[in-house]
Every structure is written in structure tokens, then in C-alpha cells.
Chain A
């Protein structure tokens, strides 16, 4: 009650700017708080394998990996405004590259191949918007699975590929995955706080204005797409390290759709939300298929539908209408004076 009164009085006597200033000050002073929260969360996550059995640790490692791919989906879908169903493709490219490399070079090779794949595919993606991006990325993802299933000399076909083991214990592999995911998440968060993040968001929100101001929007989108490809490639390396086996089934259309669901549940604008949401969705799928063999798709489908109705903007809240806007403009529903 007190809050409402003060807010109203601020508005009536024009103290809004004061309140804004206070909010800004709070935000500045609070910079350390999320860092602290993250540090505590990371410490807790690192302590987990000492409290659970090996199987749970291995499961958590896999969820971390998928969470990292979810991060790349969120970077494209939420921040860049390119909703994607195809990050399974650089994920697969990175994983197969990683399966052929041992030791510390594995992660580097996978990131490089994932990014290179994205660079090649970028011209297909960055000129399209909205639902066309969904369709193009879907095609790219399907193409990647088809190649993975057929190019037997490199991928082992549908039989899959067993990779050389890295690190001895499930605990070690989990901690390694946690460290890599932690570093990448931190780097992405830092990048998004920098002018680069601002430019991406601005390109998403008002492309015409950005272009008019002389910004090479296509280059920004390409950069983001390549970065997301590198992140998905890193996910591939971690997948190979944690499960020591890779097959086309790891990159199916269902996986792509679940990644998107996880990202939407987490709120596509929020990177940490995307990691958590993706991990949650895959955990729920595994749990459901153990609990009700054969009926997991039904319940999962219900989760999809409920998410579409209840959380179209995710828990972190995001203006999804922006993504469809240029589509509407394209169809002639153009109210704004700019095109």
C-alpha cells in the first residue's frame, strides 16, 4: 500500500526521474549480487557429485551439455531474434569432430568445427526472419542428421561412434563439463553486457533504424550465429567427453524441439534461464519415460501445450511479438511509417 502511494505521488509531482535514478543506482550497486549468487550456485553445483551416485552424476553431466546447447539456442532465439530449430547441426558437427580428437585439443577442435559450420550455413540463415528462420534451420538440422547417418567413414552411420575415454571418473567428467559450461556462460553474459549485446538487441528490436544509422546488421547477426555455432560445438565436445559415444539419435528433430521448449520455458532473453530450462525439460523427459514407459510423449506434448499457453514469454519475460513483426510488415500489415 505504501509502495503504491509513493509511486503515485512520484508520478503526480514529477519525481519519476528521481525514482529512476534510484533504480539505476541500485542496479549499479547490485552488480556484485548476481556475481555472488552465481558463485554460490557454481560452488553448490560443484559439490553435488559428492552427494549423489555415479549414475546421477553422469545424468547431470548430460543435462549440463544440453543446457549449453540451449544457451546457444537462446542466444539466437531471444537475443538475436532468429528463432532456431537447427542448433543440433553445429552440435553434431562439434561432437563428431571431438570424437576424432583426444586430449585438450578436443574442445578447441569442436568449437572450431561448430563455428566453421555456422559460418558456412550463415548465408542461409541471416537474411531470413521469423518463421522462415525456423524452417531453414529445421532443414539444416535435418540435413545434418542425414549426413551423420550416411557418412559412415566419419560418423559411423546410425551405429554411432565410440570415442576415446577422457577423464577417469563420472565425477571428473561432471566437474570438467561444469567448468567449461561455467566459463562459456560467464563469457556470454559478459559479451551481452558489452556494446556487442546492445547492438544485437537493437538489431532485433528495430532493424530498419539500425540499418539507417549505418550499422551492418547482417554482419552482427552472422557474428552471433557463428558464436552460437561455436557454443553448440563446445556442447558437442562435452557430449563426447561425458557419454563417450555419439550417434545421430543425439541430434534428432525431437531434441531440437525440446531445446526450443526449454529455452522458451527459461525465457529466451535470459541466458541462465535458458540453461536451466533446457536442463529441466530434458530431465523431465528422462524422468517421465522412466516413470511411464510409452506415455512420455503424451505428457511431454501436454507440457509443450501448457507452455505455449501459460509461458509464451518464458519466466524471464520477453516480447515475442517482436519476432513476428517483420513478417506482418511483409504481409502488408504496415502501420509504421518506416519499412
Chain B
């Protein structure tokens, strides 16, 4: 077990990062019914902000957080505005629109920040290995794991205990009834996409030292979080968390143990789960 401690911890960090990104995707998919192919680009916005603003000092951390989250929330809101004319349930047009925005947004980011993968500087105090049961481990990743766990718990409480979360769950179960109760569906949709953007941006800023900003970031993050969303059951916070951790571990321990088959494992698992649940999907997956 000992030689796998570090990959296992890396897997947890990776999985929690994917969870925060995928939670945004689950929201937009489950509540607004939108398959947002530009979600990875929202993450990339946050990651580029971190690379741009972070200079190794503590003061830059809140600055990058605010800048990244505001920028990606704004992008998410703009996305909701652009999607307004598209009918709910018209998934093909939504997919074309969001993929087009992802292409254009990715191109704009590359022309603004250059075509190279950018390095991200974390505060000097965290930019060193610490001793963990005899193994050196990057301090930033430990801090990231704690912060991401806090975000996960906060998200769970927000969905299960607050009025907004109740509304979100209701909108997943029966959007028509929610509309009948006097809640404007457009506001729900814009709100959900803004929160989804904020989560992606937050993940981008915090996760930039793990999945750094570069031209391929958006695609990587989108595909991995899509796998997480699908494995996790599409509208359950707990399921998404479990799936994200599983994907994280497959990507780290799996690659260490079975270097040749790990990459297939991920997509094969996704395809099989989808096929097994396809009939159930049409009724509804699990509720939160």
C-alpha cells in the first residue's frame, strides 16, 4: 500500500477538483437541461486568471479567486443569455451553440495568453513538499484537498438545506410545477448557469496548479467532467462526488498499476453505465 499512498492522495486531489467542475455541469444539465460543451472553457478562464494574477504572494490568492470567479460567472450568465432563444429540449442546437462558444472562447484565450501551457505560482509557503508518513508531498495539494472538501460540504448543504437548493431540486423533478408555483423559469436557468460558471471558475483558480491553463485544458476538463457527471448519475451530489473520486483514482493509481488499460477503463465504464441505465434514464435517474 505504501508506494501507492502518494498516487492515491493525488487521486483524491484530482477527483475533488473534478467534482467541483462536474458539480457545475450537473447543475446546468439537471436543472436547466443544457449539455454545456463550453463548461471546460469556463474552467480555463479561472485557470488563466490564476496564472495571470498569482505571483507567489498571499495577497494574490483572494485577488485571483475574485477575478476568476467573477469572470467565469459573467461568462456563464452570458451563456444563459445566448441560450435563451433556444428551446428547452433542443439539445442539438444547444450542443452546437455551446461548442461554437467553446471554440471561439478557447481561441480568444489563446490569443490573449499565448499558445503555451502557463505555469501557475502558488504562495511561497505552500510551494514546498511536506513530509507525509515518510514521503514528500506537495503542500498545496493537501491544502487543496481540504478546501475542496469544504466546498463539497458547502455545496451539499446548499442543495439540501437552503431554499435555493430546494428550488433547484424541485426544478429537476418537475420544472412545470415550479413554474406554476410562480418561479420564473428564466431566472432559475440564468441563476443555475451563473452558479455553474462560478463553480467552474472557482475550480479553475484553485485547480490551476493541478490542471494548468493551456490550449488543451478546456477539452480535457470538459471530457473528464462529462465522464464524472455520467458515472455519477446526472443529478445527485453524492453520486457525483463518488464518481469524481473514482475517476481521480483511475487517473492516478490506475495509471500507476495498469498503464496500458487505464485510459480505456474510464470511457468503457462510462459507456457501460450509460447502457445499463439507458431505460432508467428516460424515466429519471436518482434524486439528490
- Residues of chain A whose beta carbon lies under 8 Å from any beta carbon of chain B: 77, 83, 85, 121, 123-124, 127-132, 134-136, 138-140, 142-143, 146-147, 150, 253, 257, 260-261, 264, 294-298, 300-305, 307-309, 312, 320-321, 323-328, 330-333
Interface presence of B63 (CB below 8 A): no
The reply to whether B230 and A139 form a contact with Cβ atoms under 8 Å apart is: yes
B229 to chain A, nearest CB (A): 9
Residues of B within 8 A of A298 (CB): 103-104, 107-108, 111
| Sampled A-B contacts (7; CB under 8 Å) | A127-B278, A127-B279, A128-B275, A131-B91, A134-B91, A143-B271, A321-B87
The reply to whether B271 and A124 form a contact with Cβ atoms under 8 Å apart is: yes
Once the chains are docked, how many angstroms separate the CA of A146 from the CA of B263? 7
Once the chains are docked, how many angstroms separate the CA of A129 from the CA of B274? 11
Residues of B within 8 A of A305 (CB): 82, 96-97, 100-101, 104
Residues of A within 8 A of B90 (CB): 312, 320-321, 323-324
Given contacts A124-B274, A308-B86, contact A147 B264 (CB under 8 A): yes
Besides A130-B91, A139-B230, A301-B99, 16 other A-B contacts (C-beta < 8 A)? A83-B92, A83-B95, A121-B271, A124-B278, A127-B279, A136-B278, A146-B267, A150-B260, A150-B263, A261-B96, A301-B102, A301-B105, A304-B99, A307-B96, A312-B90, A321-B90
Interface presence of B281 (CB below 8 A): yes
The reply to whether A332 and B174 form a contact with Cβ atoms under 8 Å apart is: yes
Once the chains are docked, how many angstroms separate the CA of A147 from the CA of B266? 12
**Interface residue tally for chain B (C-beta within 8 Å):** 55
Q: Which of B127-135, B152-160, B219-227, B247-255 contacts A (4 or more CB under 8 A)?
A: B219-227
Residues of A within 8 A of B284 (CB): 330-331
The reply to whether B227 and A139 form a contact with Cβ atoms under 8 Å apart is: yes
Once the chains are docked, how many angstroms separate the CA of A121 from the CA of B99? 25
Once the chains are docked, how many angstroms separate the CA of A81 from the CA of B106? 30
B98 to chain A, nearest CB (A): 9
Given contacts A83-B91, A308-B93, contact A303 B260 (CB under 8 A): no
A104 to chain B, nearest CB (A): 33
Interface presence of B182 (CB below 8 A): no
Interface presence of B85 (CB below 8 A): yes
The reply to whether B267 and A304 form a contact with Cβ atoms under 8 Å apart is: no
Once the chains are docked, how many angstroms separate the CA of A130 from the CA of B92? 8
B207 to chain A, nearest CB (A): 21
B165 to chain A, nearest CB (A): 19
Q: Mark B14-33, 1 if CB is under 8 A from A, else 0.
A: 00000000000000000001
Interface presence of B70 (CB below 8 A): no
Interface presence of B117 (CB below 8 A): no
A147 to chain B, nearest CB (A): 7
Residues of A within 8 A of B92 (CB): 77, 83, 134, 260, 264, 312, 320, 323
B267 to chain A, nearest CB (A): 4
Q: Mark B249-288, 1 if CB is under 8 A from A, else 0.
A: 0000000000010011001101110110011011110000
Once the chains are docked, how many angstroms separate the CA of A331 from the CA of B174? 7
